[in-house]
Structures are given as structure tokens and as C-alpha cells.
Structure 1
Amino acid sequence: MERSYAQALQQYITATNSHDFNNVKQILDENAVYWFTNKTCTSLLEIQSNFERAWDTIKEEVHAAEDVKWLSIDEKTATCIYTYHYQGYFNGEFISGKGRATNIFIKNDYGDWKLIHEHLSNF
């Protein structure tokens, strides 16, 4: 069953909250590139390392996407921006925060929407 780009975003958030990179990897294109404030990840191995470091740093971390706006959609690509929220425990203390996100999804030859780019930044 083919899922929509909006379903792909929701599946990505759910996969991120599972704290299991195997779930996240199912949503990623093999050529995915991530831009963070202080780091660029250009391989799945680098992306995995970044996710796992974050999960080790902020325990029980939960992400959410709010105010999602789809800027560009066609048969093969979909681009959205949103406010991301996170919460969890850092050194035993509850923390939360938010920032800006840009996600670009592409539709592969099998009809699956895959995340090819994510850019996260603080407000």
C-alpha cells in the first residue's frame, strides 16, 4: 500500500521516537543528507551515529512536529517546514525545547516516500 508524503513525515517522527535506528532507516533515502547547527551528516552511518548519540544524551527523548507547512509538492518530491519540539531527560533533569525543521521527501521507483534531506536549527 502506497503511503503519502504526509504519512511519511508522521512515520518518520514515530520512528525517531522509537529510539531504534533500524526504524528510522526504513524512511531514509540511501543518499540522505542531514544539516544540523554544528554538523553535516552525508552517509547513513553518520546519520545513525548522530541519532544514537542524541538518544544516549537525552534519555526518553520524544519529538513532535507542529505547524507543518508543505511548500512544494509534485509527483516525485515534497518539501515541508515545521517547528520541531523535543523533551526528555538530560543528566536526570527534564528538559524541552524547539527549533525549525526542513524535510525533503522523494518518491522512489517503488512508490515509497523517503526522506532525502533534513535541516534542523534552533530559533
Structure 2
Amino acid sequence: MREYEAANSSRVLDRVLAHISPEASYWFSDGSYYGHEEIRVALQNTFDTIQNEVYSIHDLAWVTVKSDIAVCRYHFSWIGLINGQPRSGTGRGTNVLVRHKSGWLIEHEQLTSDG
């Protein structure tokens, strides 16, 4: 998850997608996205909207960890510029990771904004 956090802050889509299963589902406050192509568009829209974003994960807790599946929950925060104005936000996240031949990949992410 720390590598995923760093990838998000890098704002390099291919680096972020390397942590996500091609069949993943992402549920955000603004909609649900399925598969790399839909998730890529949603992430690009976020990167285009929030300039100079720094994304952070806090209070990471592993709900379950087995040999082939893991579930975690956390709080997240972000800071950046929207239309040149400083903005920030916080929320909660849950991720389901599955071990693939290439390593652990996110199969599902749900983010809920605090406001």
C-alpha cells in the first residue's frame, strides 16, 4: 500500500495501474469504474483537476491477510491546487488485494470523502 500511495503521488498513470488488477472495480464518490480503461479515465480526470496533488494514507489497518488475499482500511488525505486555489480533502478507503503471479494487485477500492 505504501508503494501504491507513492505511485498516486507521482501522478504517473502507468505506475498507479501497475498496482491494480486489469479486472478491478473502483468505487468513488463520483461513480464506479471497472477495468483498467475506466479506472485510467477516472484517475486522469482527478490528476487533471487537482494540480500538484500529494496523496497520503494514514491509519492503515489490515483487516485480514491470507496467503492469496488481503483486505485493508485506512484514512486518506490530499492537498493540491484546483483552478489555482489551494484545496484539500480527507476520507476513508478500503482495498481488497489478491496475489497474482506478478505480485499483489488491488481488485477493489472504495473511497468515501469526508465532505
TM-score for the superposition, normalised by structure 2: 0.95
Aligned residues, how many?
Answer: 114
Structure 1 unaligned residues grouped into runs of 5+: 1-8
List per-residue Cα deviations over 1:48-69 (Å, max 9, x = no partner): 0011110110101110000011
Partners of 1:19 and 1:53 in 2: CA distance: 11
For 1:91 and 1:59, how far apart are their aligned partners in 2? 8
Tell me the SS of whatever aligns to 2:106: strand
Write 1 or 2 for the structure with the bigger share of strand: 2
Q: TM-score, normalised by structure 1?
A: 0.89
Percent identity reads 29
Q: Which residue in the other structure is 2:113 paired with?
A: 122
Structure 1 moving runs of 4+ over 6 Å: none
Residue 69 of structure 2 is aligned with which of 72, 77, 96? Answer: 77
Please name the residue that 1:5 is paired with. none
CA root-mean-square deviation: 0.9
Report the Cα distance in structure 2 between the residues aligned to 1:105 and 1:34, rounded to whole angstroms: 12
* Structure 2 residue 43 is matched with structure 1 residue 46: no
Q: List gaps (5 residues or longer) in structure 2.
A: none
